Amino acid sequence: MAGAAITATGLTKWFGEGDARTLAVAGVSFEANFGEMLFLVGPSGSGKTTLLSMISGVLRPNEGRVVVAGLDVWSLDDNQRADFRLHKVGFVFQDYHLFPRLTTTENVAIPLILRRHAWSEAMAQARGELDVVGLASRAEIAPGKLSGGEQQRVAIARALITRPEILIFDEPTASLDGDTGKRIMSFVVEHVLNEHRCILIVSHDERIFSFADRVMRMEDGHVVATERGAHA
Amino acid sequence: MRGLLRIAYKLLTNERGKFIALLMGIAFAVFLMVMMRAVFSGILRQSAATVTNTGAKMWVMDPAVNNVLTSIPVPDYVLDAVRSTPGVRSAVPLYSGAGLVRLSDGTYQPATLIGLDDTTLLGRPKLVEGHIEDLFADDAVIVVRDGEYPKLNSPGIGTTFELNDRRAVVVGIAETPASGLFGLPTLYTTFNRATSYIPSPRFTISYVLVEPTGPAAVPGIQRAIADLGYLALTEKQFSDRIADFYKYKTGVGTNILIMMVISFVVGLSISAQTFYTFVLEHLERFGALKAIGAHSRDLVFMIVFQVGVSSFAGYGLGVGLCSLLIMIAKARLPSYVSIITFGNLLFALAATIVIAVVSSYLGIRRVLRIEPFEIFRA
């Protein structure tokens, strides 16, 4: 698939009003393409998570527009935007947010359940996805019994199960040691990234920047530099 | 949707401690509410035992009567007046009073004495031993075999004892649908013998039992009796009047109501608090579901389903527990009467639904407020 996966134009977000107004993202514009892994990096408070949230349709910008996989995200109503996230976007959260009382298979199947797939079909597909991330043998245990790296892979399997065009990772290696982080990123590059998918990663972790196609550096709500990554 | 509800069910039941706390909170509240009303229903049934057991279609009495045992004797002319009222097929007197039985071991036992019309024996109980015509023999009485029967040393046919210092001979053993409220054994005899056993005031008729020509005649009879200065009630109206007396004029009803309100509030507090804590603990994950693409209505369905499962399981548990306790009590105490009526079950169900609605409302409000953006900021 060719062309732009994400087109952001003048995205601006502030919090509070009057004297308490804080500018989080200031008129950011960029494009990300299918087949590309784009890193958003920068110090805490630079606006990268806010930008990520606006792109993924969970935080409304005050100004600007973002088109993701051909959809003008903020022209959709709440239900359409929920459907957009469910069908077009996969999320891997920093703390994984797996349900500790469900099995890993059930956790992975959740997006399919939300899409009203039959239980048995969702479970079969989830087991297949766990196989892809190398956790077939851990399918029926609770996530709490898995290591951090394994939980991360369960979260990736959950994000991948709907075959999303956009995949969003929020600090994917923040809770992992260096080696595990690198192994996860290698896995992402080899098995997750493809020409039909764009991956957006927010990270502080410079050790994994080498996996990026492009690195966008943010400071004080502005994009201050865009560099080609080592993987490009 | 079924898959989503299955996830909701697993989330709820896999959290065993909270699920059990939720169940117990609701079950405890339902148990107390149903039990209180069951006990009260039992009291009301017992309070109207004479009315139920006699089975007369209409009762004529002094307007001040509100409890069958505290009858106010009516003059004999009332019986004649009732008999001549249009719509009355027949009317007979009934005596109701209390006597003191001296048992063979020398101890005394108060007993309720019912005097049936000497000619018709209208209102007679169902005999399980003996023959009804033996009641016309000298000093004959019939004993009711109910929970109070052992208080008379479980007499058999032919047993004699003293009733208010006069000889009484048991000629029959009867069973009645209901026992009296005050724990007294019941004896039946004829009207004239009853009035001779018990020292009587000027008037001896406690009630006049009426057989109307048909249901259509009842309002006319009631109007005519009211013109006489007396009160004519159907069996149901009299039972309701007695029930109202205990509900509103003795404090029993108020106390039962207070206990039920307390049970409801306790159940509501435990359930609402436990479920709200459950939602708070899963708030981030509900936020994650929202971020992934769950619609608000999906989350609402999940919460309503979780509360619904807990509430109805708790309701069933509470009712089951209550039934079990009543069953055990009845097996051990023959005179124990508690009745779970459909009204009682519906009332507890309504209270459970209120508990469920309040509990889920608190959870839903919290979940709908969470912004998926918060998940990224975590």
Of A59, A85, A99, the CB nearest to B293: A85
CA angle B281, B283, B284 (to 5 degrees): 105
SS (H, E, C) A19-81: HHCEEEEEEEEEEEECCCEEEEECCCCCCHHHHHHHHCCCCCCCEEEEEECCEEHHHCCHHHH
Could you tell me which residues are beta bridge partners of residue A13? A25
Q: What is the pLDDT of residue A134?
A: 84
**Amino acid letter for position B187:** L
CB distance A162 to A112 below 8 Å: yes
Residues of B in CB contact (< 8 Å) with A are 1-4, 6-7, 10-11, 14-15, 282, 284-285, 287-296, 298, 371-373, 375-378
Q: What is the pLDDT of residue B220?
A: 93
Task: Report CB contact under 8 Å: B293, A114.
Answer: yes
Confidence of residue B89 (pLDDT cuts 50, 70, 90): very high
Is A76's Cβ below 8 Å from some Cβ in B?
no
User: How near does any CA of chain A get to the CA of B372, in Å?
Assistant: 6
SS (H, E, C) chain A: CCCEEEEEEEEEEEECCHHHCEEEEEEEEEEEECCCEEEEECCCCCCHHHHHHHHCCCCCCCEEEEEECCEEHHHCCHHHHHHHHHHHEEEECCCCCCCCCCCHHHHHHHHHHHCCCCHHHHHHHHHHHHHHCCCHHHCCCCHHHCCHHHHHHHHHHHHHCCCCCEEEEECCCCCCCHHHHHHHHHHHHHHHCCCCCEEEEEECCHHHHHHCCEEEEEECCEEEEEEECCCC
**CA distance between the termini of chain B:** 29
Which residue in chain B is spatially nearest to A122 when comparing CA positions? B3
Q: Residue B48: in which H helix or E strand, if any?
A: none
Residues in chain A, total: 232
Mean pLDDT of B222-251: 89
Which residue in chain B is spatially nearest to A161 when comparing CA positions? B292
Q: What is the pLDDT of residues A99-110, one digit of tens each?
A: 888 999 999 999
Task: Report CB contact under 8 Å: A82, B295.
Answer: yes
**Amino acid letter for position B107:** T
Please tell me the distance from the alpha carbon of residue B95 to that of residue B79, in angstroms, as a whole number. 13
Confidence of residue A92 (pLDDT cuts 50, 70, 90): confident
Is A141's Cβ below 8 Å from some Cβ in B?
no
Confidence of residue A95 (pLDDT cuts 50, 70, 90): confident
Q: What is the pLDDT of residue B141?
A: 93
Is A30's Cβ below 8 Å from some Cβ in B?
no
Q: What is the pLDDT of residue A232?
A: 59
Nearest Cα to B225, choosing from B74, B106, B376, B345? Answer: B74
Q: What is the pLDDT of residue A152?
A: 87
Residue with the bigger pLDDT between B157 and B272: it is B157
Mean pLDDT of A73-98: 90
Confidence of residue A120 (pLDDT cuts 50, 70, 90): very high
User: CB burial class (10 A; 0-12, 13-18, 19+) of residue B93?
Assistant: buried
Nearest Cα to A11, choosing from A31, A25, A32? Answer: A25
Q: What is the pLDDT of residue A177?
A: 76
Mean pLDDT of A129-140: 87
Confidence of residue B355 (pLDDT cuts 50, 70, 90): confident
Of B14, B284, B293, the CB nearest to A101: B14
pLDDT at A13 over 90: yes
Q: Where are the alpha helices (DSSP H) in B48-89?
A: 49-54, 76-83
ipTM of the complex: 0.85
Q: What is the pLDDT of residue A231?
A: 64
Q: What is the pLDDT of residues B167-186, one digit of tens each?
A: 999 999 998 887 777 778 99
Q: What is the pLDDT of residue B378?
A: 57
Quick one: tokens of B234?
A: 């159907």
Total-model pTM: 0.75
User: Which of A51, A110, A151, A165 to substitute to test the interface with B, most B CBs within 10 Å?
Assistant: A110
Q: What is the pLDDT of residue B322?
A: 94
